Amino acid sequence: MKVYTEYLKFHTRKHRDYIHITPQVEGIVKKSGVKEGMVLVSAMHITAGIYVNDNESGLIEDIDKWLEGLAPFKRDYKHHETGEDNGDSHLKALLIHHEVIVPITAGRLDFGMWQRIFYAEFDGQREKRVIVKVMGE
């Protein structure tokens, strides 16, 4: 059994951003030598998420607007009594979820035709990390 780990780093220019990371994850799976197994891709922050969906710019705008509608920026979150102003970033991260686990078959991500992995930043403009851990044989 093999376990192989790498970390991706992000520092977005925008407060919210959606970054396509399938090529990086594929590269890590290749380096791992795992032919059959799974890869965990997990944000190491509480204001960022990982999701799988389409790499289409219009849809990404829709997702961003939808998240803002369901988990809006507001002044009056209780969390802000700590001095923070990112209550909405936490809720957006909970909605989109912070990790995915992707199957590996014959050394490749076993995805459908349109599935792509995204890093979703909800409180950017600073250093963030994602762990990619491959497990299998």
Using CB under 8 A, list all residues that contact a copy of itself: 1, 3, 5, 36-38, 40, 42-46, 51-54, 56-59, 61-63, 66, 70-71, 77-82, 87, 90-91, 93-103, 105, 110-112, 114-115, 129, 131, 133, 135-137
Q: In terms of CB distance, is 2 or 30 closer to a copy of itself?
A: 2
| Least separation in angstroms between CB 119 and a copy of itself | 13
Q: In terms of CB distance, is 15 or 94 closer to a copy of itself?
A: 94
- Give the tokens for residue 92: 């957006």
Q: In terms of CB distance, is 7 or 23 closer to a copy of itself?
A: 7
Query: Are 34 and 134 spatial neighbours (Cβ–Cβ below 8 Å)?
Result: yes
| Least separation in angstroms between CB 27 and a copy of itself | 18
